């Protein structure tokens, strides 16, 4: 018995749903990749914004607690 009968080559198989040979490779989903990249950028930007707000809040708390000589007191 020939080996092709026992072990068919996958590229020779026909997909009954599409009636095409199965040697087509899957196409990459560029829209999905782009959306994921945009979401990652947006998340990173939001985290950076929050860090800046926290740092600003800490700085204002420190300046209120630390009475230094200002320009008006001179």
**pTM to 2 decimals?**
0.46
- Under 8 Å between Cβ of 49 and 55: no
Q: In the chain, how many domains are there?
A: 1
- Quick one: tokens of 73? 């007191």
Q: Given this model, what pLDDT does residue 54 score?
A: 93
| Domain boundaries, position 12 | 3-62
Q: Given this model, what pLDDT does residue 73 score?
A: 58
Average pLDDT per consecutive 10 residues, the chain (74 residues; last block may be shorter): 58 60 77 97 98 90 67 57
Helices (H), the chain: 3-6, 30-65
- Under 8 Å between Cβ of 11 and 21: yes
68 lies in some domain: no
69 lies in some domain: no
73 lies in some domain: no
14 lies in some domain: yes
Q: Given this model, what pLDDT does residue 49 score?
A: 97
């Amino acid at each position: 018995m020939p080996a092709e009968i026992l072990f068919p080559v996958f590229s020779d198989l026909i997909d009954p749903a599409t009636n095409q040979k199965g040697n087509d490779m899957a196409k990459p989903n560029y829209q999905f990749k782009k959306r994921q990249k945009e979401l990652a950028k947006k998340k990173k930007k939001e985290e950076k914004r929050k860090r800046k707000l926290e740092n600003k809040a800490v700085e204002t708390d420190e300046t209120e607690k630390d009475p230094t000589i200002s320009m008006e007191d001179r």
